[in-house]
Amino acid sequence: MPEEYPRNLRELEASFSTEEACRAYLLRLRWPEGFRCRRCGGGRYWPVRGTLLECVGCGCQTSVTAGTIFQDTRTPLPVWFRAMWWMTTQKNGASALGLQRVLGLKSYETAWAWLHKLRRAMVRPGRDRLRGRIEVDECYVGGLEEGLPGRLNLDKALVVIAAQEDGPGIGRIRMRQIMDASAESLIPFVRDSVEPGSVVHTDGWAGYLPLKAEGYEHDVTVVRGKRKTASELLPRVHRVVSLLKRWLLGTHQGAVSHKHLDYYLDEFTFRFNRRRSGSRGKLFYRLMQQAVATDPAPLDQILHPESTAKTKPQSVGVK
Ligand SMILES: [Zn+2]
């Protein structure tokens, strides 16, 4: 299907004012090659009661929202579409308070939960890895003071960042919250984020030493004395870090708890990697596309991600 998206709010409202129009759009996104029954693989269906698709071959019923972030929603789809439009077109991202105002939602909690559902669709597993020359470094996020000696800090979250070099500028990025700066935390991140054979540029921290054995070219710059700071040696990562901190403090007033930080990092990455996209509608399209490919997230899982969602490295080493 050619990329099909509204170019502005007027087009959004004209195209997606009804439940039927929204469902038809989701159907095209979910099955770009045409409907496929998940049980028998058949390609033909009857519409049943407006929202269900019944396979002609085996009688199995499904709906276009089943198994997506829209599953079991009681909110009309046009409202979801407006929320997603708003979230993708805000240059600096969306806060729950802002969404609550724009949609006239009664509760702040509802707006907050929606944004979290949408963040889960912002970075999909299995996305392609960065390649080329990549800077990698970790930093602390949250709290006001910058870094303590020994890279140990218990109040702040430790985030590892990979930034692709694009001439003097920055290409795409990846980031993840990690328990500590041990090799057991750092190496799996690089493995998931960077294509083997790429050049990974880091400082001299021992946690990065196994990179060579993992099939990367490892370019180490050792920070000696005070003449050059890490931010000069790995300028792209540190530019990303300062933008991330500003975003967390600005759009979200610094009110992001560690247990939800991963999802904010996903949102930041989603926006950053598409920052040069000429059309905001394209971000909306990409988010929609990922939303129909993302498992539903029950509210309980959103409130307590530590018990169910992403797994983090469990090593206890201290950097
Ligand atoms: Zn079937």
- Cα 122 to ligand 1 centroid, rounded to whole Å: 30
CA of 62 to the centre of ligand 1 (A): 10
- The Cβ of residue 43 has, within 10 Å, a number of other Cβ atoms equal to 14
Element housing 85 (H / E): helix 77-89
pLDDT at position 295 is 72
Q: How far is the CA of 68 from the centre of ligand 1 (A)?
A: 19
Nearby residues for ligand 1 (ion, Cβ within 5 Å): 37, 39-40, 42, 55, 57-58, 60
Q: Tell the burial category of 239 from Cβ atoms under 10 Å away from its Cβ (0-12, 13-18, 19+).
A: middle
* 111 φ, ψ (degrees, to nearest 5): -60, -40
CA of 38 to the centre of ligand 1 (A): 7
Which CA distances in Å does 114 have to 22, 27, 70, 291, 302?
Answer: 18, 21, 10, 12, 10
Ligand 1 center to residue 290 CA distance, Å?
Answer: 24
Say how many Å lie between the CA of residue 52 and the centre of ligand 1: 13
Is residue 154 classed as helix, strand or coil in its secondary structure? coil
What tokens does 228 get?
């050059």
In the prediction, which pLDDT does 163 show? 97
Distance set, CA 137 to CA 126, 186, 221, 229 (Å): 22, 9, 11, 13
The model's pLDDT over 75-111, given as tens digits with 9 standing for 90+, comes to 899 999 999 999 998 877 788 889 999 989 888 888 8
Residue 261: pLDDT above 90?
A: no
Higher pLDDT among residues 308 and 22, named by residue? 22
What is the 33 CA–ligand 1 centroid distance (Å)? 16
Q: Compute the distance from residue 57 Cα to the ligand 1 centre, in Å.
A: 5
How far, in Å, is the centroid of ligand 1 from the Cα of 63? 13
Residue 299 has pLDDT above 90, yes or no: no
Q: How confident is the model at residue 38 (pLDDT cuts 50, 70, 90)?
A: confident
pLDDT the model gives residue 211: 97
Identify the residue whose tokens are 């000069």.
232
Is 90 exceeded by the pLDDT of residue 201? yes
pLDDT at 113 over 90: no
| Span 120-174, pLDDT tens digits | 888 765 578 999 999 999 998 875 334 444 444 456 889 999 999 999 999 999 9
Say how many Å lie between the CA of residue 37 and the centre of ligand 1.
Answer: 5
Give the Å distance between the CA of 64 and the centre of ligand 1: 15
Distance from Cα 54 to the centre of ligand 1, integer Å: 8
Residue 318 pLDDT greater than 50, yes or no: no
- Kindly tell me if the per-residue pLDDT of 36 is higher than 50: yes
Q: pLDDT category, 280, cuts 50, 70, 90?
A: confident
> What band does 178 get if pLDDT is binned at 50, 70 and 90?
very high
Query: Residue 239 above 90 pLDDT?
Result: yes
Give the pLDDT score at 235: 92
Q: How far is the CA of 42 from the centre of ligand 1 (A)?
A: 5
Give me the residue label for tokens 């929603």: 73
What's the CA-to-centroid distance between 44 and ligand 1, angstroms? 8
